[in-house]
Every structure is written in C-alpha cells, then in structure tokens.
Amino acid sequence: PRFLLVFDFDETIVDENSDDSVVRGRALPEALRQSPRGGSYNEHMQRVLAFLGEQGVRPADFRAVYENIPLSPGMAELFQFLSKHQELFELILISDANTFGVEAKLRAAGARSLFRKIFSNPASFDRRGFLTLGPYHSHKCLECPANMCKRKILTEYLAERAREDVEFQRVFYVGDGANDFCPSGTLTAADVAFPRKGYPMHRMIQESQEKQPGAFQAAVVPWESAAEVARYLQELLRR
C-alpha cells in the first residue's frame, strides 16, 4: 500500500456519537446524565453500561443499536471507492468508542474487511450479559483523555509498519473531534488532514494556524460529505 488512511469513528464514519445512541430513549439516573467535567469519560461510560445491563439491555439490543447508527453523509461512497483501490490504501481506525460497537457497525455496513486494524477501548460481555468497557492504554500526553492518546497509537503503528518495511508515501487522517487534533499534529507536509467542517478538530486546526502559522504542517481539507474525501483521493490517483 502506498497510502495510510486513518479514520475516527464517532461523528466521522457514523453520523452521531455511538455512546449517545446507546442511551437514547432510556431514562438514566441523575448521576449518569451528565458526563463528568473533570473525571474520566471512559469510567463514566463503564458506569452507564453497567446501569443499562441492570435494566435488562442485552447483547442483541446493543448490537442492534450500533448496527442502526446512520453512516455520515458520503461515507458509503468513500468506502466504495476504497474497496476498489485496496491495493493502494491501508486503512486503520482509531476510536475512543469501543471495539464491540465499532466492529458491529462496520460489519453491518459491509466495511469491516477494509480495515487492517481497529484501535478502540476493549469491550466484551461478561457472564451476566452486561457490556463491559476498559481503557485502551495509559500514556503521558497532557492533551488527551487518560484512556487514549491517538497520537501515541498512530506513531507506534507507523513505527511498527516501518519495522515491517512498509513506508507510506502519505498519511491521510479523517476525523472530527478534539482528540483527533493531537494525532493530526504529527502529520507532515506530505500528508492531509480531513477534519469534518465546523467540528472541534476543524476549529482547533484553524486556531493553531492563526496562532502559529506553519506549526500545523499537513494540508487541510475540510469535508461536509465524505464523498469530498473520495473525490480528493481520486484526483490524487489521477496525478
């Protein structure tokens, strides 16, 4: 593969935050309604999932929720394009959601086989049938939530592929959130960041470009529909 394409999941591949999708229409106790200001969001979701398990939400219910989350505009088109050019693009997904939800959705969308690797918080069902969640790793980054620094995951992945003699000509990063800004800061001038237009990642890139012109090295191509990402990549192949 000549290119590495990195995807976020929530509000990037799918059009909503999958954690919100899971609790939609369910009455949560006051203590679980707001995610913690200072505390760990990952631990908050562990408590939410435990509560849902106690309320009788079962594996099949969770699977159905994840499978039915709508894809973002143009995402099906982008996947179609990538499935035609699998020899050129290596795909990985880095998400602060959970492995169960991400895998369920990608399989339902017929896109699981496109991804070489999925990095997300470990999730599985315990003997009671409750969906349990853990942190992905620990790290020293001050910008990121305690359970996941996407920059660390991306740099380690690139180093591992380099040891396997795979060097990418370019890295593309498709995301939307504040936690996508940190890894996109490692991109070089040859690479491209695709922030979703008007979302936190886009705003943070703009702010960093105003504050320190040139500090953010990658080309920036904002998107409203992922079909715009597909068109950009198509143009690149034509060159």
In three-state form (DSSP H/G/I as H, E/B as E, the rest C), the secondary structure along 134-182 is: CCCCCCCCCCCCCCCCHHHHHHHHHHHHHHCCCCCCEEEEEECCHHHHH
- Asked whether residue 10 is marked as a ligand-binding residue, the answer is yes
- Asked whether residue 19 is marked as a ligand-binding residue, the answer is yes
Residue 143, domain member (yes or no): yes
- Asked whether residue 8 is marked as a ligand-binding residue, the answer is yes
Whole-model pTM?
0.96
Domain of residue 163, residue span: 3-15+71-121+135-238
Residue 169, domain member (yes or no): yes
Ranges of the chain whose pLDDT falls below 50: none
Residue 65, domain member (yes or no): no
Residue 148, domain member (yes or no): yes
pLDDT confidence of residue 37: 74
- Calculate ∠ Cα 176-177-181, nearest 5°: 95
Residue 111, domain member (yes or no): yes
What is the per-residue pLDDT across 8-22, written as a single tens digit (0 to 9) for each?
999 999 999 999 999
**Any idea which residues carry the catalytic annotation?**
8, 10
Q: How far apart are CA 193 and CA 177, in angstroms?
A: 12
pLDDT confidence of residue 187: 97
pLDDT confidence of residue 22: 96
Residue 33, domain member (yes or no): no
Residue 59, domain member (yes or no): no
What is the per-residue pLDDT across 85-114, written as a single tens digit (0 to 9) for each?
999 999 999 999 999 999 999 999 999 999
Domains held by the chain: number: 1
pLDDT confidence of residue 99: 98
Dig out the tokens for 62 from the structure.
């969770």
pLDDT confidence of residue 35: 79
- CATH code assigned at 205: 3.40.50.1000
- Asked whether residue 191 is marked as a ligand-binding residue, the answer is no
Residue 232, domain member (yes or no): yes
